[in-house]
Amino acid sequence: MLKLRPNCEACDRDLPPESPEAMICTFECTFCSTCAEERFDGVCPGCGGNLVARPIRPPGMLKKYPASTKRVLNTHE
């Protein structure tokens, strides 16, 4: 089950569960599309994997399986 982290790990932009701007890697590192494309060229700075659009969990499933509220922020140079 994806955690659906609430923010971009690079710029701390809010990324609610329904955001089409959220991008993730296979380890669930989470970035906004701007950071993913412009800063990291589509490659996760943590693992080197590709960044893809995060799936959007349907509202009914969010009630049963809520998104994470834990914010993660890392310095990515």
Report if residue 76 sits inside a domain: no
Is-contact 24 46, C-beta < 8 A?
no
Q: What are phi and psi of 55, to 5 degrees?
A: -60, 150
Structure confidence by residue, pLDDT tens digits, 20-43: 999 999 999 999 999 999 999 999
pLDDT one-digit tens code per residue, 39-70: 999 999 999 999 999 999 999 999 999 999 99
Q: Is residue 51 part of a domain?
A: yes
Confidence of residue 77 (pLDDT cuts 50, 70, 90): low
Q: In degrees rounded to 5, what are phi and psi of residue 7?
A: -155, 165
Tokens of 66: 């809520």
The total number of structural domains in the chain stands at 1
Q: Residue 29 belongs to what domain range?
A: 1-56
pTM for this prediction: 0.92
Here the CATH number for the domain that contains residue 18 is 3.30.40
